[in-house]
């Protein structure tokens, strides 16, 4: 599969399973297939727009045309076909995006289920300032 970015877990082809959180063997560990991408933004609309970057990137993986991280687009529906949407969405099914309140609500069950006391996060956000802001908002969500 080439080199892959680890984002809240393992990036695997559909059909394989892996532990998204490293934990002691005796601890309960949730298993999900796919990439764990987290995008936190000031508004739901901005988060949805920023999330089009990984959506495009995973669509390009489906197409076999990987490349640099693309900038976000306003209309993701015009970028992918229905089949590409289904495949990319399946690979991104474990991803979270939204405002800080949304991210906090989505992360809480993951943390409770896994017993994780630490998260290692990387964000597939094209704009550097938006990426930094996402990490700032995530830090607030974790307080």
Phi-psi region of 140 (alpha: psi -120 to 50; beta: other; left: phi over 0): alpha
- Nearest one of 51, 81, 56 to 66, comparing CA atoms: 56
pLDDT digits (tens, 9 = 90+) for 90-112: 999 888 899 999 999 988 888 88
DSSP single-letter state for residue 117: S
Q: At what angle do helices 128-142 and 100-114 cross, to 10 degrees?
A: 60
49 vs 129: CA distance, rounded Å = 15
| Residue 118: pLDDT band with limits 50, 70, 90 | confident
31 vs 132: CA distance, rounded Å = 28
Q: Is the pLDDT of residue 135 over 50?
A: yes
Is 2 or 47 the better-scoring residue by pLDDT?
47
| Residue 116: pLDDT band with limits 50, 70, 90 | confident
Count of Cβ atoms closer than 10 Å to residue 102 Cβ:
16
pLDDT digits (tens, 9 = 90+) for 53-94: 999 999 999 999 999 999 999 999 999 999 999 999 999 988
Q: Is the pLDDT of residue 3 over 90?
A: no
Question: ∠ at Cα 100 (13, 80), nearest 5°?
Answer: 40
Both tokens assigned to 134: 């996402």
Percentage with pLDDT > 70 across the chain: 76
Residue extents of the structural domains in the chain: 38-142
pLDDT digits (tens, 9 = 90+) for 17-56: 444 444 333 333 444 445 577 888 999 999 999 999 999 9
């Amino acid at each position: 599969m080439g080199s892959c970015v680890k984002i809240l877990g393992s990036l695997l082809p559909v059909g394989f399973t892996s532990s998204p959180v490293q934990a002691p063997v005796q601890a309960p560990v949730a298993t999900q297939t796919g990439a764990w991408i987290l995008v936190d933004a000031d508004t739901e609309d901005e988060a949805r727009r920023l999330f089009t970057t990984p959506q495009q990137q995973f669509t390009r993986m489906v197409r076999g045309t990987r490349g640099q991280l693309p900038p976000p687009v306003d209309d993701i529906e015009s970028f992918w076909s229905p089949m590409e949407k289904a495949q990319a969405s399946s690979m991104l099914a474990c991803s979270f995006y939204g405002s800080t309140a949304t991210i906090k609500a989505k992360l809480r069950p993951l943390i409770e289920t896994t017993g994780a006391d630490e998260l290692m996060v990387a964000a597939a956000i094209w704009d550097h300032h938006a990426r930094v802001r996402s990490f700032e908002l995530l830090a607030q969500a974790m307080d």
